[in-house]
Amino acid sequence: YEEKVIQLIVKIILIKVNKTPIDVAKHPLGINPRVDDLMKLVNIWANDVRVVAIQGMGGIGKTTLARALYNRIFSKFEGSSFVSNIKEVSRQPNGLVSLQNQLLHEALKGKVQPVSNSSQGTSVIKQRIHSKRVLVVLDDVDHIEQLNALVRPTWLSAGSRIILTTRYEHVLNVYGLKEHEIYRPSELNREESIQLFSFHAFGKDQPIEGFVGLTEKVVSATGGVPLALEVVGSSLFGKRSGQEWNDTLEKLKKVPPLDVQQTLRISYDGLDNLEKSIFLDTACFLSGTDRDTAIQMWKGCGFFPTIAIKVLMHKSLLKISEDDKLEMHDLLRDMGRQIVQEECPPNPGKRSRLWFQKDALHVLKGLK
């Protein structure tokens, strides 16, 4: 009996020692009450295997919510994994395999050999994690094949939890989720929106004197979408001319309600040519690349990227991760790629950048 108690104590200590929270957001406004709502759905004390999805439009804060939820509950599980950017990574060569290896490595704390193909990965995941109470977060899912390759509820031990984030409701329907298992984040309310916008526009949680009315108008035009508030607010930081604010407001009024990508485009249009070029390079090729590697590449092209990177970060169009890699929100990345596609929709060979494998092969074959 004493031996079992000691083993249990050691198990609990190892769970707590081997855990590190992940970064959530610089200004996580409105997060806690929404995570409280999610906690009721997740109910970590129930002994069943439970799946909860966070579904909604791009920029609404799904990943931020999933990160905050993960940080609140991951220490209660024997193993945990937060698998990010599934939509983007799965499109790369051996992308699904790299995602499977990440899940296995994190959930089993590195005590597993890498797999070499997705069929093997699925088999190993089934075999190795079925006996553990695990938390698996799958971020930005857009195809059922990704879920089938990474984790199914029937593979897991009692008390395990799967958290999904996605824009696409049909994926959840095919996965078998019921309505009560889906959480749809609402837009930020007026007070939360003003606070988040003000943090980025003024460096404080309220507008400065003389800009209260303009702030309320701009916030109203962004529709309470966190990413739009962050990017538009950052674009106005340090600008104290009422004319500049009114110009931005007029542009926002022309954007259809909740068309976040068009809202973000306003900030992109305010960049100079070098900043636009570095933004588009990152969107098409370099998100997830080590910052120093990217800088050396740009310098090799005759660019001076350091200041441009700082400008993009200042405008919330680019971020640097904790391990010093370039990071870009998927909605900003999609916007950048759309801008390049619009350069010449029918002829990829006339575009400034080719990142899609089929387009590149088509152009290369045409050069023979």
CB 61 within 8 A of CB 128: no
Does 211 lie in the same domain as 301? no
Domain of 324 in residue numbering reads as 273-366
Tens digits of per-residue pLDDT, 206-219?
Answer: 999 999 999 999 99
Exposure b/e, 279-307, CB count within 10 A at least 16 = b: bbbbbbebbbbebeebbeebeeeeeebee
Is 58 found in the same domain as 28? Answer: yes
Q: Mean per-residue pLDDT for 36-54?
A: 97
- Domain termination residue (choose one: 220, 249, 269): 269
Q: Which pLDDT does position 33 carry in this prediction?
A: 94
Give the whole-angstrom CA distance, residue 298 versus residue 278.
Answer: 8
Do 7 and 48 sit in the same domain of this protein? Answer: yes
Contact 334, 261 (CB under 8 A): yes
Average pLDDT, the chain: 91
pLDDT above 90: residue 198: yes
Mean pLDDT of 23-51: 92
Q: Which CATH number fits the domain that encloses residue 339? A: 1.10.10
**pTM assigned to the model:** 0.84
Helix (H, G, I), strand (E, B), or coil: what is residue 60?
A: coil
What is the tens place of the pLDDT at every residue in 87-135?
Answer: 999 988 899 999 999 999 999 988 889 999 999 999 999 999 998 999 9
298-308: pLDDT as tens digits: 999 999 999 99
Domain boundary pick from 183, 208, 228 = 183
pLDDT at 17: 45
pLDDT of res. 9: 56
Q: How confident is the model at residue 256 (pLDDT cuts 50, 70, 90)?
A: confident
pLDDT tens figures, 225-241? 999 999 999 999 999 88
**293 plus 243 within the same structural domain:** no
